[in-house]
Every structure is written in C-alpha cells, then in structure tokens.
Amino acid sequence: MQLNRLTRAVLAAFALGWLVPPALADETCNSPYLSNLIKGQEDYVYVWTLGVPGMGDGSDKLVTLDANPKSKTFGKVVAQVSVGGRGEAHHAGFTDDRRFLWAGGLDDSKIYVFDIHSDPAKPRLVNTIADFEKRSGLVGPHTFYALPGRMLIGALSNTKDGGGATGMALYNNKGEFIQKYAMPAASAMKGADGYGYDLAVNPARNVILSSSFTGKKNYMTPLGTLIKDAGAMKQFGNTMVVWNLKAMQPEQVLSVPGAPLEIRWSLKEGDDWALTATALTSKLWLVKKDAKGQWQARDVATIGDPAKTPLPVDISMRADGKGLWVNTFMDGTTRYFDISNPEAPRQTYEKKTGSQVNMISQSWDGKRVYVSSSLLANWDKAGRENEQFVKLFAWDGKALNEQWKVDFTQLKLGRPHHMKFGAQTGQRTAWTADPARVAGR
C-alpha cells in the first residue's frame, strides 16, 4: 500500500526520534513537534496585529515586545514588520524547527512567513504566500500547526460560497502546497457539518482533533448585525472531528454544540484527554475515551453566565494539566479553572483584565500570563471600550498582578491578536526523543 506524503513525513520523524519536549519555560499551547524550547525566561513576545485604517501605516504587522525583565526595554516595542496591507491578521504558528513563524489573514487569505531565528529581536518577512485560495479552494487560514517538515493549516471557509464548509491544507516548510483535506460533510459522515477552526495533535494516540466555527460571510460581518440575523446565527459549527493522524482520514464526529474553538491536550505524561470551550454556549467540554475505547465529548463546566453571552474565546492549559486559563471577550474577564479532575473543572479565580480580552498565553512554568485584546476587526467593541493592548501579568497561584501594558492604540500599531514567545538563539535548547511515545507504542 502506498503511503501519502504526510504519512511518510511522520514516519521519518519517528525514525529521527523527535518527541514531546521536557517541561521548560515556554508557552504551553504549541505543536508537540517543535524541536526547540525556550530555556528559562522568554525574551520576546511576537504579536500578530490587525491594521486599522488611518492608524500608523494602516497595515497588518508583526510587533515584537521585550519580555525580559533584565532588559532596559522591558515591556516596550523593539521592532515591527508591516506586511503592506490589511487582511484581518489573526493566528500564527512556528515551523517545527522554530526558525520561522507563519501568520495568516482571515480576509485576504494571504500567508506571511517571518524569519525569527536570524535575529530574534528583529523578525524579517521572507515569504508571502498569495495563492492559498487558488491552490486549496479554502479561505481564511486560521491555525498553523507544525508537523515534521510540514505546516498543517486549518481554514475557516471556502472559495465557492464563503460559508462554513472548509478543510485543511498541507504545506512543506519551504512554503510549497502539498495537499488539501476536506472537513467531513453530512453527506460523508453522520453528524458532520463541514466546519473547521482549530487543530491539535496527540502523536501518542495517532489523533488530530479539529473544532468548528463559522464561514467568512459571518466572521467578516459586524457582530451587532450578525447577532440580529437569526439565519446567520444558525451557520456555526457544532462538532469536533477525530482524525487518524498517519492516514489523515476523519474517523469520528463528536457533537459539541455552540462553536467549539481552541483545543488543548493535557501535556501531563500519561494523560489522554483534551478540553475545548464553546463560544456560543459558554461551556467547557472534555474529549476523552470511554470504557470501550471510543472518543467521547462531554460538557463538564460552565464559563460565567451563559445568559450574558460572555463569549469564551481562548484557553491556555498548564503544563502539568492541572489548571486552565479562559478569556471571555464580552465581559473582559480572565478566569482560572482547577482541572485536577478534568471530569469536573472548578473555577477558583477571576479578574477583569480589560474592557475586552481575547488571546491568553502562559509561560511553561506558569508564572507569567500574557493577555491581548482584539478578536476581529468587525467584532471588537466601539468607543471607550475599544481598548487595544497586550498586558503581562505575574501569577503567584493566588492573583494576577499586572507588570506592564502596551497600548497599541496610543502607539498607532493596530489591534493586537495572537502572541508567540521568542528568545535569543543561544538561550534555546534542543531535545531528543523517545520514539515509542511519539509513535504511540
């Protein structure tokens, strides 16, 4: 039987012995295939930022913040790279060698590749992939997930009608398109809806989980208008899909009503479960195998007051799998859940961290938490509540204490969204692997 290109790449990675890294001070929400981790304190935060007409150059840009407390420019902007246009900057992800950061636009579907290795303090734009739609038939590259020598990209929409039917696109690290994988539709698998959003891999169990959101016609519509459109509000995903990683085939559809967004596998050794949050129903869902060995999804906790539509948007799990941060956009609140028992998460802390908050990134040691403010250009709040910032908080296990705030509006930078950590090259460490764990043997 012939192996497809992804299968061959994954098997080659097993042979090379790449593995899940040890618990060092890095962000927790990364692909398990990254071959480098930051050793100790991160030096930089790379912020993928939406351009705003009339603000600065008006373009999307990658903004670099100094995150090293020993630096003279701690908490300051040290670099910015404009991409020369506005395409609804959203998410970004490292290649498996962590030399390059890929970032995409949900509106124009362009993909930008930044060199963050040559000079980590000053990223350079080295490639623009402008034919994503043409090559894949997909729109809105959202999740950039590193595989061995590859980048798997989860999209939100399609070129045919701008709706929620979508898929994933596979590229090599040189930026060359390899293959498209369609999200299963109802005609192909019972319960499927064709929607997509996030991706998360568990190599030990040969599984990819994908979640679901909505299509371009919805996410580019102003939020106030969208909420009033009953028909449009029905066009959101209500599923997660379990994929066979090696075969790249969907195997099971899980019912998860309410637009499940970010997916986080527990990183604790021996754990085989993941959590997601549903944006529209404000729930935490656990994905775990049952006694018969079948993956199941179950509602295990409520986030805030669903009647007030807090809109959970991002989650970040502790490296030991015992705690989960949740940001809710509408009420500007950051919540902490004790998930020592993932079957029954308990909220133990909350803090209003802004008038609106979106992404949350914590360091691997759990001592630092970064929060950004922007969701989507047409969904962010207006007037005084339209705060645009990145904040660093220290976490002592009891309270979040603000260390610094970078005001992106005041600096005319735009709307900050996704954050990734960087470090001087000499502070990184390579790791070797236990092939048996990666292969799931």
Pairing of β 239-244 and β 249-255: antiparallel
When pLDDT is cut at 50, 70 and 90, the band that residue 326 belongs to is very high
The proportion of the chain whose per-residue pLDDT surpasses 70, expressed as a percent, equals 90
Whether pLDDT at 167 is above 60: yes
Whether pLDDT at 2 is above 90: no
**Enclosing domain of residue 422:** 5-439
Whether pLDDT at 11 is above 60: no
The proportion of the chain whose per-residue pLDDT surpasses 90, expressed as a percent, equals 86
What pLDDT is recorded for position 26? 81
Tell me: the pLDDT tens digits for 221-265?
Answer: 999 999 999 999 999 999 999 999 999 999 999 999 999 999 999
Helices (H), 131-254: 132-136, 216-219, 223-227, 230-233
* CATH number of the structural domain spanning residue 68: 2.130.10.10
pTM for the full predicted model: 0.92
What pLDDT is recorded for position 24? 46
The C-alpha angle with vertex 257 and arms to 188 and 272, in degrees rounded to 5, equals 80
What pLDDT is recorded for position 25? 54
59 half-sphere exposure, CB direction, 13 A CA radius: 10
Nearest residue to 105 (alpha-carbon basis) of 61, 67, 167 = 61
Number of domains in the chain: 1
Helices (H), 172-249: 216-219, 223-227, 230-233
When pLDDT is cut at 50, 70 and 90, the band that residue 8 belongs to is low
Whether pLDDT at 15 is above 50: no
**What average pLDDT does the segment 356-384 reach?**
97
10 residue type, one letter: V
Show the tokens assigned to 392: 């660093």
Assign 332 to helix, strand or coil.
coil
CA 333 – CA 5 distance, rounded (Å): 43
Whether pLDDT at 432 is above 90: no
The C-alpha angle with vertex 269 and arms to 256 and 264, in degrees rounded to 5, equals 30
